[in-house]
Amino acid sequence: MKTMITDKWNRPLHDLRISVTDRCNFRCQYCMPTDQFGPNFVFLPREALLTFEEIERLATIFVGLGVTKIRLTGGEPLLRKDLPGLVEKLSSIEGLEDIGLTTNGVLLAKLAADLKKAGLKRVNISLDSLNDELFGKINGRNIGTKPVLDGIAAAKAVDLGIKINMVVKKGVNDSEIIPMAEFCKKEGIQLRFIEFMDVGSTNGWKMDDVVTKKEIYEILKRHFKLQALEPTYFGEVAKLYQYTDSNMSVGFITSVSEAFCGSCTRARLSASGQIYTCLFNGNGHNLRDFMRNGATDEQLRHRIMDIWSQRTDRYSEERKTVTTHSLPKIEMSFIGG
C-alpha cells in the first residue's frame, strides 16, 4: 500500500530519476565541457556507486511513497555494465508503472533489444543537430550522427517509445531547429526543444545564450501549423503542440522562460546515493552511507519522507533573485537532466 507524501508547496512525489554513473562518452558543451572534464578528471570509484541491489531497494521504498515513474540517467547510463539487469530488477517492483532511460544513443543499437526484454518502456535520446560536423563539435568528441541514428532505428525496431531531446543554444545550433523538426515529424518521433539551462557551474551559462520557447515557436510557426495541447497529467514537463496536418506533436522544456516549479514532482538519486530535491539545488542528502551503516527499510522510508516533506525548491521561479544565484549547485552530469 502506498503512502502519498507532499512537500511544503503541496507537490506530490511521483517521479524518480536515478543516475547510474557519472561517466559519459560525450563532452557536450552544456553539460560536461571538455575544458572542465578533461582526461585527468577524477570520476567516482566503483565502490562509491550504488550497487544494483541498493538501487532496487531504494526504488522499492520510493514506489511505496508514491513514485510511479523511474527514469535512468547518468552521465551516460549505457556505460554502466549490465544495465539491462538493473532494468529487470526495477520492472519487478509492484506499483511501478513506467521505466524510461535518457541516453545519447551511441550504445543503444547494441542494447535496445536487451533493454526492451528487461522491461524498459521508453528512451529519451539526446540529438542536438543532424549536421555531422556541428554535432561532433557540440558533443566534444567529433562523433557524427550515425551511431545515434542507428540507436534510434534499433529502438524503433523493438518498439521502445522514443523522444528526441534537443538543447538549443543561440548561435550554436539554432539553425537546426527546422531540420530537426522536419526529421522527427517524418520519423513519427516527438521532438522536445530544451532551453539551455544554468545547471551546475561549469557550462558557462548566460541568459544571452538562451533561445526561449517563444523564439523557437515563432521559428516553427513559419513552417508548420501548430495547435496547443492540454497537459495529460499533473507535473508534465513538456508544453506540447500538435502539428495540425498529422497526429505528431512537438514539445518545449521551458525551465528558463516559463518555469514549471509549481508542478514539479521529481526527486533525483545520484550515482553515489545522494538524494536531490531539485535539479538546481546542490544540497544532497546521503542515503548511501545511511543504508550501508545498517538503516532498515523503515528508517530509510522515514528519512525520505522527512527530506521530501521539507522541500521548498522553486529555483526556476526565483532565478532572478540574488539568493538563488548563491545556491550551491550540482553538475547535471552527476544527477542527470
Binding site, annotated residues for S-adenosyl-L-methionine = 30, 75, 126, 197
Residues flagged as binding site = 17, 24, 28, 30-31, 71, 75, 102, 126, 163, 197, 261, 264, 266-268, 278
Kindly report the backbone phi and psi dihedral angles of residue 220, in degrees, each rounded to the nearest multiple of 5, phi listed first.
Answer: -65, -35
Give the SS3 label for residue 219.
helix
- The closest of 236, 237, 299, 267 to 59, measured between CA atoms, is 267
Preceding amide of 151 cis, omega within 30? no
Residues flagged as binding site for GTP = 17, 71, 102, 163, 266-268
- The answer to whether residues 73 and 17 touch, using CB atoms and an 8 Å cutoff, is yes
CA atoms within 13 A on the CB side of 92: 10
Residues flagged as binding site for [4Fe-4S] cluster = 24, 28, 31, 261, 264, 278
d(CA 280, CA 310): 16
- The answer to whether residues 260 and 316 touch, using CB atoms and an 8 Å cutoff, is yes
Q: Roughly how many angstroms between the first and final C-alpha of the chain, as a whole number?
A: 30
Strand ranges inside the chain, DSSP E: 15-19, 69-73, 98-103, 122-126, 161-168, 190-195, 226-228, 239-243, 249-253, 266-269, 274-276, 285-286
Reported for 37-44, long-range contacts at CB under 8 A and 24+ positions apart, including other chains, are 37/202, 37/333, 44/271, 44/272
